[in-house]
Amino acid sequence: MVTGVPPLDIRPFEAGDQSAVIALWQACDLLRPWNDPASDIALCVDTPASNLFVAGTVGEDGIAALWATIMCGSDGHRGWLYYLAVDQERRHAGIARSMVRYAENWLAGQGIGKVELMIRPENDAVREFYERVGYEVEPRLVMSRRLQDHA
């Protein structure tokens, strides 16, 4: 458990956060060649049914150090979580749990009654985290078809 963590400020993404957000996602190994993070951010913030939240310590001019992110959105029925990231040095302090709850509350406020997410099969640590915060594995098969080379 990390001790001495200052109070966490969670708020919606602002344009000035972009480079810090992308750097955090890179450090957390969330980026893939087929997903341009700047495009993902733009699509999220330009879509009313989605949001990107950032968290960190508060300075005089807003967030002084960005520690965490979570992206969420919905199709009108189900909510989805993406890009949960917590700075490596700040893990095991309840930040990820706080981010998930914040996104869940935002989705619930949009009238969404169920939240889903996808985890790569080999990512046991992430699956175990989500189980600890109340998520269950559901027997579903995800199918996809690429409509563009790197979509």
75-101 per-position pLDDT tens digit: 999 999 999 999 999 899 899 999 999
Query: Which residues span the domain enclosing 89?
Result: 9-118
26-73 per-position pLDDT tens digit: 999 999 888 899 999 999 999 999 999 999 876 666 556 889 999 999
| Residue 114 forms part of a structural domain | yes
- The chain-wide mean pLDDT, for the chain, equals 90
| Residue 67 forms part of a structural domain | yes
> 1 pLDDT exceeds 70?
no
Amino acid found at 18: Q
Q: What is the pTM of this model?
A: 0.88
Beta-carbon-side half-sphere exposure of residue 145 (alpha carbons within 13 Å): 1
96-106 per-position pLDDT tens digit: 999 999 999 99
Q: What are phi and psi of 2, to 5 degrees?
A: -75, 135
Amino acid found at 73: G
Structural tokens at position 105: 């509350």
CATH number of the domain enclosing 58: 3.40.630.30
Number of structural domains the chain divides into: 1
